[in-house]
A and B are shown apart, each in its own frame.
Chain A
Amino acid sequence: MGKTKSLPFKWSDFFVPSDTECLLACFAMSARYWAEFFPELKLAKDLDVWKEFANRSFVSYRGTYIKEFLRKIPKSNEVIEVNSEIKTNNLEEPTSQVVEFSELAIKTNTLEDLNSLVPFFRTKIIIPQIIFFNQLLMTHNINGPNHAVLLHSIDFEKEKLYVIDSTKHQMQEPDVYDFHQFKRAWRDAYNLQIITYPKDMITLVSGPNVGITKQLYLNQFTEKSK
């Protein structure tokens, strides 16, 4: 299969560091990415505001969850409460939902394997993918909490996965994981992937179930896109 395209990630503009809230940081980086292509999105422009968002503590033992942080999305250059209702559309089944707030939609998928990540690199504008895995299981063979990173690219020949890790502040380049080590750690999180996309510019509808395969029809980007 070779190497996928790379997420066109501008480190100086998109990278949001966070020591503790990796999911928030990944979401922030995805939002920054989409704002580059769609400046009309009503998202905060100031990188510092996103840094503040990704480092705010939700102070819990259970960790943050998507519906919790959506209400705190930085908008209009300041962190404000988003009053808009969080909508959930029942697509395939009640637990496979698209969560939306005023600007971006978020879809969680539990993918079959690494190949299932590839189609998201093939759209006209690459769709940023957040992947969840048990990092300590991968690095130290210890059962630990989940970690979220943003997928940069995949090299199937070298069997390497390139990721953007919000906790690696100084790197300014993708971190590299071996397939062999990553697969087990990802499987431990049920191969969880989270995609974000501008809801007004992409329509996501459920396709027919074909065995374990589902089809997601993504309206390709309108002429508004760059």
Chain B
Amino acid sequence: MKSIVTISELQNIEAVAMKYIVQNLGCNIRPLKALSEKDGSLRVPLQAIVPRQVTKRDHETKVFIYNLEDIGSLHYRKTENKFNLISSITAKDIEIEISNRFKILTESIEKEILIEGKANWGKLSWIKTFLSPLYTIVINLASTSKPISIDSLRTADIWKYAKLLINEHYAQIDSERPNQIIPTNKLTMASEEYYKSNKHIHNLAEEIVGGVFANNYFEIKKEFHINSPTAYVDTTKVYYIDALRYGENIPIHEKNLFYEYLKIGDRSFRSEVNLMQFRTLLSELEFVKLLEKQGSYVSGNPKFFKNLMVYRDNILEGSVQAPKGVTF
């Protein structure tokens, strides 16, 4: 026995695109009015409507809705009464594009965070692990003042780290023996200061590496392909971005920050176990006073937050605040 359900469907191209979107791209994506291309095909530009919600400890919530235009397209060719899809952006590429749009809005904050943490980045465990050649070179040059052969650095595949120290004026190529590097006056004076104040040479190395990390962050990330230490910067960033969006140095639950953190980079953290790793990151950032913690809630360093408030307008560009009571 059969029954017939007769339905009437919209047959315009945007409606066809809408069906494709909800199946393949994501329900925050919307088709805009199709445009005719020179080759006779039709391009449907896509818009992302992305809500960003910040909830503080008392559950008071503010929602900001970002309207991101032209984040990709669907291309169709019309044949008889059908629209044939000829090319489409992928869900992954849309995610990258949206992520890049948010990165542009938060670039200035990232720079400020890097500067603020300069003296402390070098104390953090993943930076110590992944940038260990920097520590080794600094400690050798500062404690012994002996030259280091460039060939030995090349053999150990750490010459690129030495070059960072040269760029930062902590090391220089010996003018008499150009196959070796020696400490600069800047490094020698800094190490003398440390000895005088009875501080350990490792503390000097931490401070120098922190500065090198802050000043060469993008190079370390993109050219050295060292990504793990970026977790500290991104974690700090997700807190301050949310707090700035809200407009106050508010306590935010670590779980909310964790999900935001996952979105801003291609992260391997995907489980509760990794939420534990995230907690460790937060504790380290608390130790160096970039963030503060109270139980499961994270807040910012008040002085630093105040300095960052001037960037609030950058973050909110292209967004509308939803009326009170709206949540997602």
Q: A interface vs B, CB < 8 Å?
A: 19-20, 23, 57, 59-68, 92-97, 99, 108-113, 115-116, 119-120, 122-124, 127, 132, 136, 139-140, 142-146, 148, 189-192, 194, 207, 209, 212-220
Contact = CB atoms under 8 A, between A and B. Distances in A.
A19 B27 contact: no
Contacts of A115: 8
A145 B27 contact: yes
Given A59-B259, A190-B31, 14 more contacts: A60-B26, A65-B24, A93-B16, A93-B84, A95-B19, A109-B7, A110-B10, A113-B8, A123-B3, A140-B326, A144-B49, A189-B30, A214-B6, A218-B5
B4 A62 contact: no
A96 B50 CA distance: 26
Interface residues of B, number: 55
Contacts, number: 183
B22 interface: yes
B82 interface: yes
Interface in B12-31: 14-31
B26 A59 contact: no
A111 B9 contact: yes
Interface in B86-125: 91, 94-95, 98-99, 102
Contacts of B81: 209
Contacts of B268: none
Contact of A213 (B6, B23, B50, B102): B6
B262 interface: yes
A122 B3 CA distance: 9
Contacts of A127: 5
Contact of B23 (A108, A119, A139, A189): A108
Contacts of B27: 23, 63-65, 132, 145-146, 148
25 contacts: A57-B259, A61-B48, A61-B102, A62-B25, A62-B50, A93-B16, A95-B83, A99-B23, A109-B19, A110-B9, A110-B10, A110-B19, A119-B5, A119-B6, A120-B5, A139-B326, A140-B323, A142-B322, A143-B320, A145-B49, A146-B30, A190-B18, A213-B8, A215-B5, A220-B1
Contacts of A192: 18-19, 22
Contact of B48 (A62, A111, A113, A220): A62
Tell me what chain B mostly uses at the interface: helix, strand, loop, or mixed: mixed
A143 B67 contact: yes
B306 interface: no
The 4 closest A-B pairs by CB, nearest first: A62-B26, A112-B8, A63-B28, A110-B15
B199 interface: no
Nearest to B46: A62
B263 interface: yes
B283 interface: no
Nearest to A189: B18
A112 B9 contact: yes
Contacts of A66: 22-24
A199 B20 CA distance: 20
B29 A62 contact: yes
B65 interface: yes
Contacts of A61: 28, 48, 50, 95, 98-99, 102, 263
Contacts of B50: 61-62, 145
Contacts of A96: 16, 19
B127 to A, nearest CB: 25
A214 B65 contact: no
Contacts of A215: 4-7
A212 B10 contact: yes
Nearest to A219: B2
B23 A97 contact: yes
B215 interface: no
B260 to A, nearest CB: 9
A157 B2 CA distance: 30
B4 A218 contact: yes
A142 B5 contact: no
Contacts of A146: 27-28, 30, 49
B328 A20 contact: yes
Contacts of A108: 19, 22-23
Contacts of B94: 62
B294 interface: no
Contacts of B166: none
Contacts of B19: 95-97, 108-110, 192
B327 interface: yes
Contacts of B158: none
Contacts of A143: 49, 65, 67, 320
